[in-house]
Amino acid sequence: MLHRRAAQLQKHASHNKLEEKDVEKFASILSTPETSLLTTLKTSKGPKPVDASELDLFNNDWMNKYHGQSVCVLKPKTTQEVSEIMKYCFERKLAVVPQGGNTGLVGGGVPVLDEVIINLGAMNKIRSFNEISGTLVCDAGCILESLDNHIAEKGYMMPLDLGAKGSCQIGGNVATNAGGLRFLRYGSLHGNVLGLEVVLPNGTVLDGLSTLRKDNTGFDLKQLFIGSEGTIGLITGVSIITPRRPSAFNVAVFAVDSFEAVQNVFSKVKAHCGEILSAFEFFDNQSLEMVKAHATAGVKDPFQDKHPFYVLIETSGSKKEHDDEKVNELLEELMESSAIVDGVLAQDETQVQSLWALRESIPEAAGKLGSTYKYDVSMPVELMNELVEDMRSRLDKHGLMGNKVKEVVGYGHIGDGNLHINIIADKFDPAVEEVIEPYIYEWLAKVNGSISAEHGLGRMKGEKIGYSKSPASVAIMKDIKHLFDPENLLNPYKYLPSDK
Amino acid sequence: MLHRRAAQLQKHASHNKLEEKDVEKFASILSTPETSLLTTLKTSKGPKPVDASELDLFNNDWMNKYHGQSVCVLKPKTTQEVSEIMKYCFERKLAVVPQGGNTGLVGGGVPVLDEVIINLGAMNKIRSFNEISGTLVCDAGCILESLDNHIAEKGYMMPLDLGAKGSCQIGGNVATNAGGLRFLRYGSLHGNVLGLEVVLPNGTVLDGLSTLRKDNTGFDLKQLFIGSEGTIGLITGVSIITPRRPSAFNVAVFAVDSFEAVQNVFSKVKAHCGEILSAFEFFDNQSLEMVKAHATAGVKDPFQDKHPFYVLIETSGSKKEHDDEKVNELLEELMESSAIVDGVLAQDETQVQSLWALRESIPEAAGKLGSTYKYDVSMPVELMNELVEDMRSRLDKHGLMGNKVKEVVGYGHIGDGNLHINIIADKFDPAVEEVIEPYIYEWLAKVNGSISAEHGLGRMKGEKIGYSKSPASVAIMKDIKHLFDPENLLNPYKYLPSDK
């Protein structure tokens, strides 16, 4: 269990403990310390201390799985403030955890011990948007959904979308290389981010907020920060290219009788829908039954019968008649060739929402059913269901299925080879966890899969990176970490294996 | 002039000169030394020496602008051979230049002094292609066009295309982060490359040939090698995602009366063609006149009158009728709103080729007209023509236009903010160069442009990086170079400023 590990952790010997004078220094850096500085420490010159419970929101992740013990939260409003804070922490050897919307799933955004929390939520201004090129430049603390709404008025759309869009911040999205629902069509942040403004561990501001689509002058440093999970720099600003907002959408859900059929449908859909395909998701029967039983009202099974697997496709394009024609031709072909058993095409916006709800309610339903072990993994598409089946029979053999384990569901982004496997237990229990781990990681290593497709490593999987990356790669990563952060002050005890 | 600089260069004091025993060692590593090792050195156990002229092809770039003095070319056939060669060179402190198709424009792929040339051309096997996911894994020495042809049979397409496709190699494309003609639609190699196999300067093989679309486990190291121009590792294998090959193409050329009109058309085209737009190129009247006068036969002006600017658009999609309808609606709107003065739409494949020839023949025509100073730059789109005009009047003021300078032409990829400005002189002449440089670099620095949009830095612009990147960024780049290549053995004297 991860909290056991945390309990054993020793604070880095070279790191200092936060003192009264440090809080006073922070208060002098922040323009509005009364609202930008939360601490339980009593100081003579700083703001008045708060109750420890007021820090809970920042010390604990939203799943309440990872728990830190920070006594100080800072909410700077400018890059300059972040830079001065970092410079001071660097000199004083105070460890820091950067925090965005705190919507992560691997504990990357909360402290492990008593790290100072730098929460970016107060840096939430849009700096510029170019309506000809679609280039957006904004503060790291902007909420993803707010950005999407802002540029929607101008006919553009954020190239990423995820369940947490209402709370997650673009800086956190970039720091964790978030994937999500538009990945299939618009690709990864490594391709979409044009530039970053980053405060390095020593306080230096790396101003790389370029809006150029092409710039081949030297190593593309921003790429290192994308997915670095706050371990080598603190992202304060983001420049990103945004695509035109499609005006036409279609959503359909198909029922199929095998996982082979899911793949077959994927091939046919790619061929028919070509450039307008924007999502290809799947979920198994267990997922749908769980959603029907436990999700909030409004989720209805569109089919009369039960089927082993379901596929959701979305198309988005610039001309409704054309897209409708393509989708209808696809449907005809799928029915005629018996590639699908049943299918339903949304006729209006309400139906679009309710079909998407089938897929999007799965995590919520799992949360209501019990304590969920979530694994976000990738592998060759054809193996995705095999892992789910293997896990079910393994838990069964160990006498856990229907006992401590209530359900195992598989769903995810077929187009990206990204499976979400959720194992829902009565409660988090070492007896369950030891049957799952390291088995699942070993399984993935054998098929050259990834133990973290889009959620990242954080506190959950930092020590497990060896299942997906070679010792030579991990050694270079450690060198890079050391190059940027020789004192290991930024987001320590995460992401990479400890040296011992 | 760059060759003057090269003449002054001193070999790094710590690097050794190639000796007989080194060639013999290379011969022992290579499986077929008689064809894989070319040297002018006489050895007792190595292959028989060749005439110096046989190395010309490898020592000089294709424009014959950059000249090296290597006495040894190696053409390994396997990653293992590359690894053993690098390991030996590392121990013996022998400098190395990795070489692909030698089609670069900045001298990055040829030696500066006597570096050993490792040419990847003999590593040209396709390792795998997955027809469901479109994932291609291949040796670095595969020719781009051959790859495109290979996967075309399976309904896929390489996500990049450039003029040099018949000779350039995918490893070189990745090492230089090549852009090209499909960039607007399919984005950069930072988004499309899934994995790399790289031999590090000390011979370690970094096996990152993942075929996973999503993998968030640690720093994305492959990103550092994309665009590193062979300075920190030698790419031996590439895994890349390829899009479905569109079945329908449309190409149109429009004549417009101002550069503002070019931008206006760009907005309208993006709105009308949405997801099917695959190229938006422009060229000025000077470019077209030059092409008509100097390009190979077959290039015909499709318009009766002369116009200040021309725009070429290409669409590609999965359904011809739909694309045709979108393009026709666009044409109607452009004519009715007087956004364009004239326009022509290709009616068949021959016309598609001849319209593309107008744009693609520009570099060739410039080469026939004289010696070309080529600058490949990026900046906010609205400034692109201003730079061209400024350059013309500056050369005019210095009494060079129509004298030592024959023509200044501007063309490029509007969609990417990428301008190619070519200054065609009688001959390469310091009197011309000093009027252009550093003026053009200072101009770009002032508008936060890039001094190299897609060609890279190589030997031409390594010392100039400061015009586009901050001292803090350059310092980190030097640290990264040192981390991977502490002895500076890999592609020395290029890419980054020398320390003095």
Residues in chain B with CB shorter than 8 Å from the CB of A210 are 448, 450
Report the CATH number that the domain containing residue A113 is assigned in CATH. Answer: 3.30.43.10
CATH number for the domain harbouring residue A255: 3.30.70.2190
A216, B204: Cβ pair inside 8 Å?
no
A74, part of any domain: yes
**Contact check, Cβ <8 Å, B223/A220:** yes
- pLDDT value for A296: 74
| pLDDT tens, position by position, A183-230 | 999 999 999 999 999 999 999 999 999 999 999 999 999 999 999 999
- By the CB < 8 Å criterion, does B191 face chain A? yes
Average pLDDT, chain B: 95
B24 pLDDT more than 90: yes
Can you spell out the DSSP letters for B125-176? -EEEEETTTTEEEEETT-BHHHHHHHHHTTTB--S---TTTTT-BHHHHHHT
Please tell me whether residues A446 and A345 are part of one structural domain.
Answer: no
pLDDT at B296: 74
What CATH number is attached to the domain comprising A384? 3.30.70.2740
Report the pLDDT averaged over residues A475-486: 98
Tell me the pLDDT tens digit for each residue of B372-384: 999 999 999 999 9
User: Tell me, what DSSP letter sits at residue A455?
Assistant: S
The pLDDT, as a whole number, for residue B7 is: 52
| Inside any domain, residue A286 | yes
Closest Cβ opposite residue B322 in set A271, A322, A417? A322
Using the predicted structure, report yes or no on whether residue B277 has a pLDDT greater than 60. Answer: yes
Chain B residues whose CB is inside 8 A of the A183 CB are 213-214
Distance from CA of B448 to the nearest CA of A (A): 8
Q: What is the pLDDT of residue B446?
A: 96
CA distance A256 to B173: 42
Q: Residue B5: pLDDT above 70? A: no
Q: Are A241 and A194 in contact (CB under 8 A)?
A: yes
What's the pLDDT at A63? 84
pLDDT tops 90 at residue A13 = yes
The mean predicted confidence, pLDDT, of chain A is 95
**pLDDT above 80: residue B38:** yes
| pLDDT (0 to 100) of residue B22 | 98
Q: How far apart are CA A405 and CA A394, in angstroms?
A: 11
Let me know if residue B199 belongs to a domain: yes
Substitution target from A154, A186, A200, A213 for chain B, most B beta carbons within 10 A: A213
Side-chain half-sphere CA neighbours of A155 within 13 A: 14
Answer yes or no: is pLDDT of A1 > 50.
no
CATH of the domain at A154: 3.30.465.10
Q: For A435, which DSSP code?
A: H
Asked whether residue B492 is assigned to any structural domain, the reply reads no
Of A206, A246, A417, Cβ closest to residue B212: A417
To test the contact with chain B by mutation, choose from A219, A273, A480 the residue with the greatest count of B C-beta atoms within 10 A, namely: A219
CA distance B158 to A381: 21
* Domain boundary, last residue among B88, B122, B156: B122
Instruction: Pick the last residue of a domain from B187, B213, B241.
Output: B241
| The one-letter amino acid at A481 | K
Residues B49 and B63 in one domain: yes
Task: Give the percent of chain B with pLDDT over 70.
Answer: 98
Q: Residues 404..463 of B with a Cβ closer than 8 Å to A: which?
A: 413, 415-418, 448-457, 461
Q: Do residues A145 and A235 both lie within one domain?
A: yes
A220: nearest CB among B216, B226, B270? B226
pLDDT category at A499 given cuts 50, 70, 90 is confident
Percent of chain B's residues with pLDDT above 90: 91
Q: Which residue of B has its CA nearest to A154?
A: B271
- Angle at B212 (CA atoms; ends B207, B217), nearest 5 degrees: 70
Do B20 and B54 belong together in one domain? yes
| Mutation choice for B interface testing from A176, A183, A214, A250 by most B CBs within 10 A | A214
Banded pLDDT at B3 (limits 50, 70, 90): very low
At residue A500 the predicted structure's pLDDT band, cuts being 50, 70 and 90, is low
- The reply to whether B98 and B183 lie within a common domain is no
What would the mean pLDDT of B141-160 be, rounded to a whole number? 97
Indicate whether A101 pLDDT > 60: yes
Report the candidate in B192, B200, B263 with the shortest Cα–Cα distance to residue B234: B200
The verdict on residue A471 lying in a domain is no
pLDDT in tens, A52-83: 999 999 999 988 889 999 999 999 999 999 99
Question: What is the pLDDT confidence band of residue B263, given thresholds at 50, 70 and 90?
Answer: very high
- Are B56 and B47 in contact, with CB atoms under 8 Å apart? no
Tally A–B CB contacts below 8 A: 266
Structurally, chain B folds into a number of domains equal to 4
Q: Which pLDDT band, with edges at 50, 70 and 90, does A181 fall under?
A: confident
Q: Which domain holds residue B7?
A: 2-122
Quickly state the pLDDT bin for A7 (edges 50, 70, 90). low
- Residue A34 CB burial class (10 angstroms; 0-12, 13-18, ≥19): exposed
The CA-atom distances, in angstroms, between A95 and each of A14, A203, A232 are 10, 13, 12
Regarding whether A76 and A188 lie in a shared domain, the answer is no
Q: Does A298 touch chain B (CB under 8 A)?
A: no
Query: Measured between CB atoms, does B296 come within 8 Å of chain A?
Result: no
The reported pLDDT for the residue numbered A271 is 86
Q: Hey, which residues 299-318 in chain B have their CB within 8 Å of chain A?
A: 317-318
Residue B435 inside a domain? The answer is: yes
Of A97, A122, A147, which residue is a domain's last?
A: A122
Give residue-wise pLDDT tens across range A22-47: 999 999 999 999 999 999 999 998 89
The pairing of strands A309-317 and A277-284 is antiparallel
State residue A374's pLDDT score. 93
pLDDT at residue A3, as a whole number: 45
Indicate whether A464 belongs to any domain: no
Give the pLDDT band of residue B500 (cuts 50, 70, 90).
low
Same domain? For A279 and A339 the reply is yes
Q: Are residues A179 and A266 in the same domain?
A: no
B224 and B284 in one domain?
no
For the beta sheet containing B205-208, the strands, ordered from the edge strand earlier in sequence to the opposite edge, are B126-130, B135-139, B234-241, B193-199, B205-208
- Residue B317 is nearest to which of A188, A275, A453, comparing CB atoms? A275
- Please check whether residue A43 lies inside any domain of the structure: yes
Per residue in A276-331, pLDDT tens?
999 999 999 999 999 999 977 668 899 999 999 999 999 999 999 999 999 999 99
| pLDDT tens for each residue of A234-274 | 999 999 999 999 999 999 999 999 999 999 999 999 988 98
Q: What's the rounded mean pLDDT across residues A95-99?
A: 98
Distance of CA A81 to the CA centre of its chain: 27
Residue A5, pLDDT above cutoff 60? no
Alpha helices in A125-258 (DSSP H): 144-152, 170-175, 183-186, 189-192, 222-225
Interface test with A, best of B216, B281, B378, B451 (most A CBs within 10 A): B216
Same domain? For B455 and B357 the reply is no
> Do A268 and A352 belong to one domain?
yes
Write out residues 317-346 of A within 8 Å (CB-CB) of B.
Answer: 317-319, 322, 325-326
Higher pLDDT, A428 or B145: B145
If asked whether residues B337 and B396 sit together in one domain, one would say: no
Q: Which value does ipTM take for this structure? A: 0.95
